[in-house]
Amino acid sequence: MGLKEAKEYINKLHKLQENPYNWPDYLTGLPDMAAVIKKIDDVYDRLDRYSIAFIKLKNVHPYLIKYDDSRHAEIIQWAAAILKTTVSEYRGAFVGAVGTHEFVIICLARDLGSIIKKAKNLFARKSRVFYNEPDLERKYVLSFKRDGKEIQVGLMDMIFEVLDRTDIKKHNIIPSLARRCAEREKVES
User: How many domains would you assign to the chain?
Assistant: 1
By three-state DSSP, how is residue 144 classified?
Answer: strand
Centroid of chain to Cα 70 = 19
Q: In this structure, what are the phi and psi dihedrals at residue 22, rounded to the nearest 5 degrees?
A: -75, -25
Q: For the chain, give the longest Cα–Cα distance.
A: 52
- Exposed, middle or buried: residue 186 (CB in 10 Å: 0-12, 13-18, 19+)? exposed
The alpha carbon torsion through 96, 90, 122, 10 (nearest 10 deg) reads: -50
pLDDT of residue 186: 80
Q: In this structure, what are the phi and psi dihedrals at residue 20, rounded to the nearest 5 degrees?
A: -65, -15
Bridge partners for 149 per DSSP: 146
What's the pLDDT tens digit per position in 57-81?
999 999 999 999 999 999 999 999 9
What's the pLDDT tens digit per position in 129-166?
999 999 999 999 988 888 989 888 999 999 999 997 67
Q: Which helix (H) or strand (E) covers residue 168, if one does?
A: none
pLDDT of residue 21: 47
Domain of 82, CATH number, reads: 3.30.70.270
Q: Out of 90-94, 139-143, 184-188, which region has the weakest mean confidence (pLDDT)?
A: 184-188
**Burial track 27-60 (b if 16+ CB lie within 10 A, e otherwise):** ebbbbebebbbebbeebeeebeebbbbbbbbbbb
Bridge partners for 143 per DSSP: 152
pLDDT of residue 141: 93
Answer for the pair 174, 98: CB distance below 8 angstroms, yes or no: yes
Q: What would the mean pLDDT of 98-112 be, rounded to a whole number?
A: 96
pLDDT of residue 121: 97
Answer for the pair 178, 40: CB distance below 8 angstroms, yes or no: no
DSSP state of 145: E
Residue type, 1: M
Answer for the pair 92, 109: CB distance below 8 angstroms, yes or no: no
What's the pLDDT tens digit per position in 8-54?
888 887 877 766 545 567 788 898 898 899 999 999 999 989 999 99
pLDDT of residue 19: 61
pLDDT grade for 109, boundaries at 50, 70 and 90: very high
CB atoms within 10 A of CB 161: 19
By three-state DSSP, how is residue 15 classified?
Answer: helix
pLDDT grade for 100, boundaries at 50, 70 and 90: very high
Instruction: Residue 134: give the domain boundaries.
Output: 3-188
